[in-house]
Amino acid sequence: MSTSADLREQLTSTVHAVLGTQAISGSGHGNVSLRIPGRGELLFTAAPGLKNFDLSGVARIGLDGAVLEGAVSPAQAAIIGMHCLVYREQPETACVIHTHSPYATAFAIAHRPIEAWSEAFGILGIEDGVPVAAYGPRGSEQSLNNIRDVLGERTRAVLLANHGILNWHEKPEMAVMVGAMVEEAAQAAVFAEVLGGARVIPPEMLRASHDRHAAFHAAGEVRA
């Protein structure tokens, strides 16, 4: 699969899946990219937002950030660098998503990491939670260095201080799921404040949750 209709259709499907989770701001601001297999390139949603997205708003981008095909507005051009950074730093990544999902963005604005309060973090393999990348002007080398500084082996999402969230995965559908689960965890933590605050799941229990999920998945469908 290259920059064919199939990959472009997958990009469209991923955008629709993000919208379907509602892990996105009311403005619909955000962007999605997919790695083009076997090439140092990606497909990028160059439109200002994800609502009413169509294939006319797709650009082909090199991993150095150069626009190879299509047109990218100045506002979106400032975002390309952080997508490319994730692909370069974590080569197994197939999909990167950026949104301003409301509850996760609240944590980003507060400069507070989203910790492993949810069992889903264990299942998704993000036991270390979601760190905060310090603020840097959008598109600047400082902003990219701040993201790089908080990347770890199990990092699949980063809060962008005073901005929003960036998340990714080896599979597009799982990248969508990561964004949705992070938003749910952030929302639940805000609600939990009135009950004394969210509680972190011990690391060994999160790992056990991950392993159990893998075991059930390997066993396959259960039938009567």
CA–CA dist 12, 109 (Å, integer): 29
Q: Which of 42-56, 107-121, 159-173, 178-192 has the lowest mean pLDDT?
A: 42-56
CA–CA dist 120, 181 (Å, integer): 7
- For the purposes of burial, counting CB atoms within 10 Å of the CB of 184, is it exposed (0-12), middle (13-18) or buried (19 or more)? middle
Rg (CA), the chain: 17
Span 136-165, mean pLDDT? 95
Tokens standing for residue 5: 């209709």
The residue written with tokens 């949603």 in the block is 45
pLDDT for 224 beyond 90? no
pLDDT for 159 beyond 90? yes
For the chain, the average pLDDT equals 92
User: Which domains does the chain carry?
Assistant: 5-219 (3.40.225.10)
Model pTM?
0.93
Do β-strands 67-69 and 95-99 pair in parallel, antiparallel, or remain unpaired? unpaired
**Is the separation of the CB atoms in 126 and 156 below 8 Å?**
yes
pLDDT for 1 beyond 80? no
